[in-house]
Amino acid sequence: MGKVMTVEEVVGRLESGMTIGIGGWGSRRKPMALVRGLLRSPLRDLTIVSYGGPDVGMLCAAGKVRRVVAPFVTLDSIPLEPHFRRARQDGAVEFTEYDEGMFMFGLLAAAHRLPFLPTRAGLGSDVMRVNPHLRTVSSPYEDGEELVAVPALTLDAALVHLNRADRRGNAQYLGPDPYLDDLYVKAAAAAYVSCERLVDTADLLKEGPVHSLLVSRSMVTGVVEAPGGAGFTACEPDYGRDEEAQRRYAETPWEEYVRSEQS
């Protein structure tokens, strides 16, 4: 029935070495309250699967990450993510670098419990060179076209942040773009949803149309009410990106930033 948890309870269900998908896109609707919970935890050696933003940067800076799976890592208004950048240049993290469309097909394959999905995206590029695990398949039909077989991005856990949810895990986005959050949830063995505000199930459709009900409770393990829980990233229409806070994050040395956040 009720699945309401605290951030600490969600983090307590995760283990070192897990593959964790993080929703949102760049510096938009990232589940930062849950990410900050990961930062405070003893977890390590995580594989982070993300259209990357400050979630990836912070977890790299805190030494939580063994591998990043991403097509990019950016803060949007600040193009280059400073901590991911440093981690890559120091050789501190492994990197699976996919094309944006390949990445979505990896989530779709996992969501449909398929071993892979074929696509043209990636063919001819160095994505094939830097990911020697990737294989191609030939179409079994007359065209015989060779395609990339994107392996399923199956997740041990998914962390997403939506605008509203009920106590059973039905979750709703109210901004203009769902991003790929439903796919992360469907691709994961366990999905944890944080939200701006918990509401009664009967009130969900007072907030937005039926199409805004992005995530079904049947896919959700835990729900956290975390007002402001995407900050400093954007969470429209509840709030936009806090550019000043993001700039401070990007420009402050990591240890100093962590201290200032704790004070």
Partner 1 sequence: MSRADVCVVACAEAFRGDGEILAAGIGGAVTVLGARLARLTFEPDLLTSDGACLLTGDVPALGEAPEVVEGWLPFRDHLWLVLNGRRHVMLGASQIDRHGNTNISCIGDWSRPRAQLLGVRGAPGNTRCDPTSYWIPRHSPRVFVPEVDVVSGVGTDRGAYGLRRVVTDLAVLDLGGPGGTMRLVSAHPGVSVEEVVAATGFELEVPAAVPETRTPTAEELRLLDEVLDPRGLRHREVPEPRAGEAGRARGGGSAGEGGPAREGGPAREGGSPG
Binding interface with partner 1 (CB under 8 A): 25-28, 52, 70-74, 76-77, 79-80, 84-85, 88-89, 91, 97-102, 104, 119-127, 129-130, 176-180, 183
Nearer to partner 1, 91 or 140 (CB): 91
> Can you spell out the DSSP letters for 105-131?
HHHHHHHTT-SEEEESTTTTSTHHHH-
Nearer to partner 1, 11 or 213 (CB): 213
∠ CA 104-34-192, rounded to 5°: 60
The CB-of-160 to partner 1 minimum distance in angstroms stands at 14
- Residue given tokens 């937005």 in the structure block: 208
Minimum distance from CB of 209 to partner 1 (Å)? 13
DSSP 8-state code for residue 48: E
- Residue closer to partner 1 by CB (options 14, 32) is 32
Token pair, residue 141, equals 């039909």
Residue keyed to tokens 């950048």? 85
Tell me the closest approach of the beta carbon of residue 222 to partner 1, in angstroms.
25
Q: What are the CA-CA distances from residue 238 to residues 7, 209, 231 (Å)?
A: 20, 16, 11
Non-local (6+) Cβ contacts of 201 within 8 A are 166, 168, 170
Give the nearest distance from C-beta 89 to partner 1 in angstroms.
Answer: 6
Q: Residue 21 or residue 26: which is nearer to partner 1 going by CB?
A: 26
Cβ distance to partner 1 smaller for residue 13 or 120: 120
Q: Smallest distance, Å, CB 101 to partner 1?
A: 4
